[in-house]
């Protein structure tokens, strides 16, 4: 349950993260929002939700904005200086459905055919789940109540500091079962799902990290082209 970290040239090795939703696993659960690897290299947009007309999943699958290919969206809402949280799904070049290891939820976000990849600029993963489902800590640490830009306080966000540079974040909760500053063990219940999904993301010394790593063997990770990818889930 304790994260053991080795840091070498942006290689992140850990003992392993437990998946925060019991009864399913990181590589079998449904996903309806991916961590976007296609980010600007500067430290601001690399570590915030900064849309840039392309979304790339850890599998290398990519959605790209084209002319009028995402009806009903307004790209003028984006702010490249403040990194707007207005995020959109984007289609594949040439069409077709996304797979994300067979886990992509085809019914998510009016995406029945799976032709849009959500979200451009997204900082983590969205896992569809029934409201009230228990959420658990993915590793030992200290839990803190947390505010997130644009997220209501009554969605009870939680940040867990794992004590070695890693922090995990749990958003869109309907309940929060831990007091601010509570020591936490891996697998301990910390709250329950709200908004029909759990948002989960991970940071290492403030930098966004994809717990799935990068699995595309034909192309380098656009987020960290010179790093060796190591998946963090158990």
> Domain extents for the chain?
6-209
CA atoms within 13 A on the CB side of 205: 7
Residues 6+ apart with CB under 8 A from 61: 92, 98, 99, 100, 117
Q: How far apart are CA 145 and CA 206, in angstroms?
A: 17
Distance CA 75, CA 45 (A): 17
The structural architecture, per CATH, of the domain 6-209 is Distorted Sandwich (2.70)
pLDDT of residue 46: 74
- The pLDDT, as a whole number, for residue 77 is 34
Contact yes or no for 107/115 (Cβ under 8 A): no
- Which tokens belong to 228? 């060796």
CB of 83 closer than 8 Å to CB of 49: yes
The pLDDT of residue 109:
58
In a structure prediction context, what are the per-residue pLDDT tens digits for the chain, which is 234 residues long?
555 444 444 444 456 899 999 999 999 999 999 999 998 766 667 777 777 888 999 999 998 886 444 433 433 333 333 565 567 788 887 778 899 999 998 776 556 667 888 888 889 999 999 999 999 999 999 999 987 666 777 889 999 999 989 999 999 999 999 999 999 999 999 999 998 999 999 999 988 999 999 999 999 999 888 877 888 999
For 45, the enclosing helix (H) or strand (E) is: helix 43-46
**What is the per-residue pLDDT for 51?**
77
For 178, the token pair is 């831990």
Q: Which pLDDT value is given to residue 10? A: 43
The per-residue pLDDT for 35 is 95
Note the pLDDT of residue 68.
Answer: 44
**Helices (H), strands (E): how many in the chain?**
1, 16
pLDDT for 228 equals: 75
């Amino acid at each position: 349950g304790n994260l053991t970290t080795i840091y070498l040239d942006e290689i992140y090795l850990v003992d392993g993260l437990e998946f925060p939703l019991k009864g399913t696993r990181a590589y079998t659960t449904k996903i309806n929002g991916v961590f976007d690897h296609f980010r600007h290299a500067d430290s601001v947009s690399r570590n915030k939700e900064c849309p840039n007309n392309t979304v790339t999943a850890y599998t290398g699958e990519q959605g790209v904005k084209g002319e009028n290919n995402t009806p009903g969206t307004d790209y003028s809402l984006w702010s490249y200086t403040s990194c707007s949280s207005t995020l959109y799904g984007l289609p594949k070049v040439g069409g077709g459905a996304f797979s994300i290891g067979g886990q992509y939820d085809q019914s998510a976000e009016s995406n029945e055919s799976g032709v849009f990849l959500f979200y451009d600029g997204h900082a983590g993963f969205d896992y569809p789940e029934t409201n009230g489902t228990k959420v658990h800590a993915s590793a030992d640490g200290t839990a803190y109540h947390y505010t997130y830009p644009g997220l209501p306080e009554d969605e009870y966000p939680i940040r867990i500091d794992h004590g070695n540079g890693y922090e995990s974040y749990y958003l869109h909760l309907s309940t929060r079962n831990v007091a601010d500053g509570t020591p936490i063990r891996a697998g301990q219940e910390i709250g329950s799902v709200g908004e029909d999904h759990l948002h989960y993301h991970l940071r290492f010394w403030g930098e966004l990290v994809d717990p799935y790593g990068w699995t595309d063997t034909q192309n380098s990770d656009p987020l960290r082209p010179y790093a060796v990818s190591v998946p963090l889930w158990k």
